[in-house]
Chain A
Amino acid sequence: MLDALTIAVSATALLLASWCGFAAFRDQPTKDWHFIGMALVAVLALVQLVIGVVKLTGGEKPVDGTTIFVAYLIGAACTVPAAGFMSLTERTRWGSAIVAAGGVILAVLEVRLHDIWGGISA
């Protein structure tokens, strides 16, 4: 379940990154549709946070420790909302570039999360 979510979050984050990267390339700020996309990715990351915590309370232990796992879960959940907020304050192509960077960062966080959890399928 966690693995499926990790893949889903990574894939949508990279899609968001390329979509907003394209907008930046075309000299466009983020638009409503971009924010809907960000909301989708953010909700997925939030669901991941909830499921991750539920798994922890169920007694499962991440290989690299609970603290780091939870920190990465929270970081992953905050990344896209933070990028979206920053892009609201910068209504140029650079606002789109910020969201693109946020998407890539989230994908990297997901890889790390996978390692921290232990890389075994659940």
Chain B
Amino acid sequence: MPETAKDATAPAAAGRGIGRGPGRLLLSLYGVFTVAALSRAIVQISMQFDQAPLAYLLSLLAGVVYAVITVALWRGGESARKVALVSCALELAGVLTVGTLTLVDSGAFPDQTVWSDYGMGYLFLPVVVPVTGLLWLRRPARPQQAPGS
């Protein structure tokens, strides 16, 4: 892996370790989610965009967020961890907002999104996985060092 020399000085488990062990399982799940959400959004936007533009754009957004997390977990490193952490928070906010909206005002979403009903159509994984991700990514790679930016 051609990461920077800065990472080489870090403990082996730190930083890049976000994509190892349990992180590898998360990485795999996010990979599946990325493919699922993006392909679904692309099919819907290209074939029936007028039916539910908001729902389809949300699916596309979800797919992009999933893609960012997948790449961040794959690359590893401290900055990737932060990107993944922010994306997981965004994802959780998205699934909670859309999930609540679909229950309260189902008229706003004529068609399903990945995040409808808290991801019920996907075994609730859209709400379980970001929580797991946040817990997994919470620990900083090098706690003794303050964040640079």
Contact = CB atoms under 8 A, between A and B. Distances in A.
Contacts of B29: 101
A97 to B, nearest CB: 5
A105 B32 CA distance: 9
A98 interface: yes
Given A71-B39, A90-B21, A101 B28 contact: yes
A75 B31 CA distance: 12
Interface of B: 20-22, 24-25, 27-29, 31-32, 35-36, 39, 43, 47, 123
Contacts of B32: 79, 82, 105
Contact of B21 (A82, A94, A105): A94
Contact of A75 (B25, B35, B123): B35
**Chain A contact surface mostly:** helix
A94 B22 contact: yes
Given A75-B36, A82-B31, A105-B32, A98 B25 contact: yes
B28, B32, B43, most chain A CB atoms within 10 A: B28
B39 A98 contact: no
A89 interface: yes
Given A75-B35, A92-B21, A94-B21, A67 B28 contact: no
